[in-house]
Amino acid sequence: MAAQSGKLWARRIGWLVLLWAASVAALGVVALILHALMSLAGLTAA
């Protein structure tokens, strides 16, 4: 029973890490798109 509980815990942590990494990657993609659109519009970083 303890081994099953440990496996379940590890699986939940794995999903948590996967979802966190996916959300960080998605935010990075959105930031890159916004940066490209702002550059096309003539806005530049100071």
pLDDT in tens, 12-22: 999 999 999 99
C-alpha–C-alpha distance, residues 35 and 45, integer Å:
9
Question: What global pTM score does this model have?
Answer: 0.71
Backbone torsions φ then ψ of 31, nearest 5 degrees: -65, -40
Q: How does the average pLDDT of the chain come out, rounded? A: 90
User: What are the residue ranges of helices labelled H in 1-46?
Assistant: 2-40
Domain positions in the chain: 1-46
C-alpha–C-alpha distance, residues 25 and 36, integer Å:
17
Would you say how long the chain is, in residues?
Answer: 46
Residue, of 17 and 4, whose pLDDT is higher: 17
